[in-house]
Chains A and B, each alone.
Chain A
Amino acid sequence: MMNQILIAGFGGQGVLFAGKFLANKGLIEDKQVSWLPSYGPEMRGGTANCSVIVGDEPVGSPIVNKPTTLVAMNLPSLKKYENDVVPGGLILVDSSLIAEKVDRDDVRVCYVPATRLANDAGFSTLANMILMGKLLKESDDMSFDHTEDALKKVIPARKMNLLDVNLKALETGYGYAE
């Protein structure tokens, strides 16, 4: 089983951080992993995406061309990538920022108002981790195990005071039912 995950949104939404979390979680769980960011001249507000591969076999190309899971954090990203998702794949949509619906019936779609949930809970910058929580819940071969250990690997030491809110955001997403 190879999870080919594409996380896409605006720069500043924590797209790369969310991907690092997944990759580190996979590493802790002895899976084969890779993480590849889009890199470019864009800064905050520009487009950002990253390819994360987590699976049991050695990773070939680290570039996710045909995602098994797409996490769309803004409309341009959804439009750009929704047709690349493999049939039977999963699309997670931040429905607070994306009003449109996915125009396919051969994929599973979860609409999570991640940005609103994050604002309501008082951690407005953590919509990304709410979506990661939902991703863990909806992916067959993923679980909530080792989330805290993985977070400790990706949160810089000087910001470790943010561990608890990150964990809470993940729990919020994991427990969210549409």
Chain B
Amino acid sequence: MSEKVLMKGNEAIAEAAILAGCRHYFGYPITPQTEIAAYMAKKMPKIGGCFLQAESEIAAINMVYGVAGAGKRVMTSSSSPGISLKSEGLSYLAGSDLPAFVVNVQRGGPGLGGIQPSQSDYFQATKGGGHGDYKMIVLAPASVQEMASLTVKGFDLADKYRMTAMILADGTMGQMMEPVSLSAVDVKDYDKPWAVTGTKMQRKHNIVNSLSLVPEELEQLNFARFERYKEVEANEVMYEEYLMDDAELCVVAFGIAARVSKNAINEARKAGVKVGMIRPITLWPFPKAPLLAAADRVRQFISVELNMGQMVEDIELAIRCKKPVTLCNRVGGMIPDPQQVLEAILNADKGGNA
């Protein structure tokens, strides 16, 4: 299936998950990600997999917990309010060091909000929506091809580091169609000696649990977990640099905001403005090093987001506040048009900080 086909982003995630060896999907419908569940409902029974529409989001994430504990590749998908419901489960998955794959195709919030595209779950995804000290690997696709490739990557990283990998997409990424080529995936088989697969009377029981009542032990579990997170930060950062070689201004944007920004950057370049972009592909781990390096070369950063500026904080931390960071945004399901981003770039070029 390496021939290019037109597919919706949501469908590309579902097909890529199957190629990555996922045979268990649990979910509950919500716009704008329902095509993932619909695709799985059609496909899973034909390939000996399990599609189950749970009675609620909370049930679905706990089914994920169960399959993950058995050492099998498993996923769920939802949109913003549904991810809030799943957050308790995400914390338990982290507390039990289980690998899982979760998709959030964001919509405008807070609350029930609307159903149009948004990126306002940035904090929830990168700082942890559930309780406790934990991280998730957060992947931000900006094309249908990346919806597929980052899904495959997400399953691999989840297994490798025994943690949750989350795709943080938005309504446009889920709903749009673009050419995508889906080739067979070489699925790496990770040894999972911790999985609860039955002892066959040959080994001690494995216990998967997030309860740990001895503080000394719980502390060590947290320390050990964060040692693993350090490895992720050292090895798994992904980003794209666009026209950064001679850039004096740096746009930072992910997902649909990066797509819109590319148009604006191309227009600004035509007007002679030296502007480039750093597009985080992993939102956690955040591409701190390339941003810090850019801070010595550029005059200003412009964060383009579909939220009230949540990523601005991470940029400022990454660049240690060496340069001003301005915000260009729309919220509530609105998307900035290239003209708005262009104006933000031109304003920054004139030295405007607002």
Contact = CB atoms under 8 A, between A and B. Distances in A.
Contacts of A62: 172, 176, 178, 256, 259
Interface string B241-271: 0000000000000001001101100100000
Chain A interface size band reads 10 to 19
A60 B262 contact: yes
A20 interface: yes
Interface in A83-125: none
B307 interface: no
Given A27-B6, A39-B115, A63-B337, A34 B260 contact: no
Interface of A: 20, 23-24, 27, 33-37, 39-41, 59-63, 65, 153
Contacts of B335: 63
B179 interface: yes
- The B interface, classified by DSSP as helix, strand, loop or mixed, is mixed
13 contacts: A20-B6, A20-B177, A24-B6, A27-B5, A34-B177, A35-B178, A36-B176, A61-B256, A62-B176, A62-B178, A63-B172, A63-B337, A65-B338
B337 A41 contact: no
Contacts of B5: 27
B115 A40 contact: yes
A41 B115 contact: yes
Contacts of A35: 6, 176-178
Nearest to B32: A39
Contacts of B171: 39
Contacts, number: 60
Given A27-B4, A27-B5, A40-B116, 20 more contacts: A23-B177, A33-B6, A33-B178, A34-B176, A36-B172, A37-B175, A37-B176, A40-B115, A59-B178, A60-B262, A60-B263, A60-B266, A61-B256, A61-B262, A62-B172, A62-B259, A63-B260, A63-B335, A65-B337, A153-B6
Interface residues of B, number: 24
A166 B263 CA distance: 35
A35 B180 CA distance: 13
B31 A39 contact: yes
B339 interface: yes
Interface string B24-58: 00000001100000000000000000000000000
Contacts of B260: 60-61, 63
A60 B178 CA distance: 12
A60 to B, nearest CB: 4
A153 B266 CA distance: 33
A165 B233 CA distance: 57
